[in-house]
Amino acid sequence: MHQGNRTDIARLGEFGLIEHLTKNIQLKNPETLYGIGDDAAVLHFGEKQTLVTTDLLMEGVHFDLVYTPLRHLGYKAAMVNFSDIYAMNGKPKQITVSIALSKRFCIEDMEEFYNGLQLACEHHNVDIVGGDTTASLTGLAISITCIGEADKSEVVYRNGAKDTDLICVTGDLGAAYMGLQLMEREKAVFQGDNQAQPDFAGKEYILERILKPEARKDIIELFRTKGIKPTAMIDISDGLSSDLLHICKQSGVGCSIYEERLPIDYQTAVMAEEFHLNLSTCALNGGEDYELLFTIPLSLHEEVSTWEGIRVIGHITKPERGCMLVCRDGAEIELKAQGWIALSE
């Protein structure tokens, strides 16, 4: 929450607030014909296909304002939607932004939220084209819808994975989950002792992963450059296990992934050790990674091995083989949507 001058939202009213927050918004995309200011935005994609995704974020469920700056929240709220469009192998083009807010928020709070939102949109070349601003009796609610585009031949669904395809994941996993654990711990310390200062030194990466995730535009551009189209793709929001199971279920296939191949940053490993958590569980089920999980034909094995920041973690199998994790000791365990290793600890 904003710490300096706090201007009551009632001073502007709903229309005034919307105008204040959106007056500097400039449209960047030729597909955006008309943005904020009418009953609906007007877009035109011509021969391209239109992609639509939406997310609803609720205070206390998806974010805790004790440790989430509103600027970061705005950035992340946009980013998680861009991530869904990239997961279709498309480009995000427009968003609508609806906010319900209670009286404890001031205009400066909303400015910070919009600053984060606009920064995310600048990085990804997205136009803010509409939305709704309204009152809430209790917490903050944020609903963002993102519209993107892709050539018909480019769209990648979850249902195209085939036997022997390689399973690839970008970046590393489990860091956002560890960042969340760290912030929850420091919050508890802070609430017990107001003099306590949080100790975040050396933990910047995992904090950034939870507070300011970055959707993988670069990977989609890499696919274009290399002329490669994945057979199936999803973004990792619920956790690798859960999202890989979506691909397998929708493609009607099984999979084998290897525990030793899971990409994990050293800060994630250090924190898991500190919290006495099983590191593989964090990587498999942590969620909120916003990395891309995709499958490509086996014939691309050599090619993909040379791509920086992309790890082959296993392969697709026939459906009767099930969805398996091959542990370091060679044992095979069935992948569950969440928490299976936690149970075995």
Nearer to a copy of itself, 46 or 330 (CB): 46
Residue 295 β-bridge partners: 167, 232
Distance CA 161, CA 293 (A): 11
Nearer to a copy of itself, 62 or 209 (CB): 62
Integer Rg of the chain from CA: 21
Tell me the two tokens of residue 40. 């609906």
Smallest distance, Å, CB 238 to a copy of itself? 9
Distance CA 236, CA 222 (A): 19
Kindly give the pairing relationship between strand 32-34 and strand 323-326. unpaired
Q: How many CA atoms lie within 13 A of 299 on its CB side?
A: 6
Contacts of 69 (CB under 8 A, 6+ apart): 112, 116, 211
Smallest distance, Å, CB 263 to a copy of itself? 21
Nearer to a copy of itself, 80 or 173 (CB): 80
Residue closest to 203 by CA, chosen among 183, 232, 227, 233? 183
What DSSP state is assigned to residue 165? P
Nearer to a copy of itself, 49 or 269 (CB): 49
Smallest distance, Å, CB 45 to a copy of itself? 7
Nearer to a copy of itself, 120 or 128 (CB): 128
Give SS3 for 285: helix
Nearer to a copy of itself, 99 or 272 (CB): 99
Nearer to a copy of itself, 94 or 181 (CB): 94
Smallest distance, Å, CB 201 to a copy of itself? 33
Distance CA 87, CA 83 (A): 6
Smallest distance, Å, CB 95 to a copy of itself? 10
Q: Residue 112 is which amino acid?
A: E
Residues that bind a copy of itself (CB under 8 A): 15, 33-34, 37-47, 49-56, 58-62, 84-85, 87-88, 90, 94, 96, 98-100, 129-132, 134-139, 141, 143, 145-148, 152, 155, 157-159, 233-235, 250, 337
Smallest distance, Å, CB 11 to a copy of itself? 16
Q: Is 84 left (phi over 0), alpha (psi -120 to 50) or beta?
A: alpha
Kindly give the pairing relationship between strand 32-34 and strand 292-296. unpaired
Smallest distance, Å, CB 60 to a copy of itself? 4
